[in-house]
Amino acid sequence: MRRLKTNHCSRRRKKKSKDSLNFTGRRFILLIKELLKLIDAEIPFKKAESWDNVGLLIGDMSSEVTGILTTLDCTLEVVQEAVDKNCNTIIAHHPLIFSGIKRIENQGYGAVIHALIKNDIQLIAMHTNLDAYDQGVSAMIADKIGLTKQQILLPAEREMAKLQIFVPREDVESLKQALAQVGVGQIGDYSDCFFQLEGQGQFRPNASASPYIGTSNQLEVVEEMKLECVFDPHLQKKVEETIHSAHPYEEPAYDIYRFHATDQFGTGIRGELASSVSVKEWLTSVKEQLNIETLRLIGDSSKMIRTVGIISGAGVSYMKEVAATGVDLFLTGDIKYHEAHDLLMAGLLTADIEHYSEQVMIEGLKELLQSFDSKLNVHASEQSTNPFKAI
């Protein structure tokens, strides 16, 4: 039931229109809160790192979306572009607001905030939650440079809970329905996932019991079904309440335990080239495909490569984990001098492709949002927000 990891381009999924989206006559109406719900269903904001700041940063949940502009960074030029294109919603990869604000003056970042509010433009950030997505920024880079057989480079783990419960055969379907309604049996894109096994259970009610089946002080043998299913741990209270309300027994017999499973989200993307190539030769085309001004290689330029790991933005802090994956080449950005020596010592062939290589997400996010719902009016920003100029 897990999503198969194949060529990334083949994993684009067509999304049906969501029921939450509204129509008045022939005009499509979407509110900010509905847009956030649409995004969260595929790229959960809770997947962002704890230090990050994602979601609606500036704006009104009840505002109607007139148009969406995707961008890497929100600058004054991007705000003006949104105004010109009648887009009252900007979705940026990098959050404009990271820490607490004590004052907003009409200069620097404050000028951008001032312009957003003045023009009634909503600002949404999709940062590390988009990075963790298997069709996120690293995958968009991988698509751009032609990697196939893509999969998460460093899969995350998540805690799950497993329920094992015994129920009379005639009550098994009603119990499954009740559990499914509170979120039990949800695995990725699948719901109502249960395993069941037939058997016999026995019990002897004492004199003070009020048994659903059987007689006090007499041994009772019952045809039962053993159900097994998983759920998110935060649902445990609801699950236990459902068991006690929907199960026919006065004292239902069940077990709940926790375990860790590989998540569908994680860090970076791993992919392959069609055949082995010289790293120096291949990186020349990568620089052109990503439209970056500088590319620095750390390691042997004559090495032949086929497998590539990508962590968009600044991912050098994962060098040990990436080295353990065995990829031939690691692509990331923002590598410092001493970090480059660390990479040499680790024997991890690495290319610094600039943080700005993430700009591929501008068009990539537009396509992604429209795959969630084709009626979304999305524009890709044409503004360069690269703060560096190669001389």
| Annotated binding-site members for a divalent metal cation | 93-94, 131, 355, 358
Biggest alpha carbon–alpha carbon distance for the chain: 91
Cα Rg of the chain, angstroms:
26
The strand pairing partners of 296, in sequence order, are 352
Tell me how far CA of residue 284 lies from CA of 139, 167, 279, 314, in angstroms.
20, 64, 9, 21
Tell me how far CA of residue 319 lies from CA of 315, 331, 336, 376, 385, in angstroms.
8, 11, 13, 39, 27
Looking at residue 259, what DSSP letter applies? E
| Residue 70 φ then ψ, to 5° | -95, 145
What does the block give as tokens for 169?
A: 């055969």
| Helix segments in the chain, DSSP class H | 32-42, 76-84, 109-118, 128-132, 137-144, 172-181, 236-246, 279-290, 319-325, 337-346, 360-372
What does the block give as tokens for 365?
A: 């996010």
Tell me how far CA of residue 282 lies from CA of 147, 279, 305, 328, 356, in angstroms.
12, 5, 9, 13, 19
d(C-alpha 227, C-alpha 235), whole Å: 18
Helix axes 109-118, 76-84, angle to 10 degrees: 20
Are residues 349 and 330 in contact, defined by beta-carbon separation less than 8 angstroms?
yes
Are residues 253 and 199 in contact, defined by beta-carbon separation less than 8 angstroms?
no
d(C-alpha 337, C-alpha 350), whole Å: 13
Sequence-distant (≥ 6) Cβ neighbours of residue 190 within 8 angstroms: 1
Query: Strands 55-58 and 254-278: what pairing?
Result: unpaired
What DSSP string describes 129-161?
A: HHHHSTTSHHHHHHHHTT-EEEEEEEEEEEEEE
Binding-site annotation, residues: 93-94, 131, 355, 358
